[in-house]
Amino acid sequence: MTPEQNPQIPPDAHITVRDLSMAYGDFVIQHDLNFTVHRGDIFIIMGGSGCGKSTLLRHLVGLKSPAKGQVYFDGLSFWEAGQEEQETVKRSFGMLFQSGALWSSLTLAENIALPLGEYTELSPAEIGEIVSLKLALVGLAGFEEFYPSEISGGMQKRAGLARAMALDPDILFFDEPSAGLDPVSSRRLDDLILELRESLGATIVVVTHELASIFTIGNNSVFLDPETRTIIASGDPDILRRGCPDPKVRSFLNRGET
């Protein structure tokens, strides 16, 4: 179904979430979530610890099916689509996991080469070139033959990003990108995210509670509340900081000072 046919979905929407409820068994984590991510947005999913941010991300990337509601990509309802269509949609994703989630039995080069080998017709030599290029983009040129366990946590994260970018995805998902990084590396990662949006035109969805990142990179956001278990604010984080009517959100965005 195209966006034109579905009156619920705005025409420039890239990801649309409608009435989404998430649950583990009988325990509802968040209910009735509604939001739209536009093409080229850097969209922040924020909220206190344990409110279900990462779970929401797992629903968006198709790792966990919703208890209720729909997720649309360019108007296509992911959970109503057939397996083939789902696979096609997934191929337009890149995801950076919280811990990097590099495949530990493969070298960095093999990690990045694997999706390229699976989904492109490139020759091994061409794949090698692309691998080096992607690693260079994240500042890891020369580390091709290292195993994930041989490099630091920050480097693993950057290598994870290089892998997420391997297929030049339309949408990049980041799960807590700055967790466990020092302030300088964290800042560099933010710059990289901005650069990716500018140069690739990718839509970027970030789960984070790092205030500095939220204001530097985000241009749209939702705030998940652990008590009412739904979205209590959405929009540009800068505007929310100054003018959000909900004191909980203002307090969060101002580090507890109101």
Partner 1 sequence: MITPQDTAIGQASVIYTRPEEDCLLIRLTGGWTLKDGIPSIDEFSQQITGNGPIRLIRFDGNDITRWDTSLLAFLTRIIGDARQQDMTPDLEGLPEGVRRLLGLAAAVPPQQDTGRVTGHTALLAHIGATTLNYLQGAPEMARFLGEVTLSFGRLLRGKAQFRRADLLLIVQDVGPHALPIVSLISFLVGLIVAYMGAVQLAQFGAQIYIANLVSIGMVREMGALMTGIIMAGRTGASFAAQLGTMQVNEEIDAFRTLGISPMDFLVMPRMLALILVMPLLTLYSDLVGMLAGLFVAHTAFDIGTFEYYHQTVHSLDLRQFAVGISKGTTYGILIAFAGCLRGIQCGRSAQAVGQATTSAVVTSILFIVVAASLLTIIYQQLGI
Residues that bind partner 1 (CB under 8 A): 24-27, 58, 61-63, 87, 90-91, 93, 95, 97-99, 101-105, 114-115, 118, 163, 173
The token pair that represents 85 in the structure block: 């269509």
Q: Of 63 and 212, which has the nearer Cβ to partner 1?
A: 63
Going by DSSP bridges, is the β-strand pair 68-73/13-24 parallel, antiparallel, or unpaired? antiparallel
Least distance to partner 1 from the beta carbon of 165, Å? Answer: 12
Least distance to partner 1 from the beta carbon of 188, Å? Answer: 23
Backbone phi, psi, residue 199, to 5°? -85, -40
Q: Of 9 and 252, which has the nearer Cβ to partner 1?
A: 252
Least distance to partner 1 from the beta carbon of 100, Å? Answer: 8
Q: Of 90 and 241, which has the nearer Cβ to partner 1?
A: 90
Least distance to partner 1 from the beta carbon of 5, Å? Answer: 26
Q: What is the residue whose two structure tokens read 């041989």?
A: 150
Residues forming beta bridges with residue 170, ordered by sequence position: none
Q: Of 3 and 48, which has the nearer Cβ to partner 1?
A: 48
Least distance to partner 1 from the beta carbon of 158, Å? Answer: 15
Q: Of 28 and 200, which has the nearer Cβ to partner 1?
A: 28
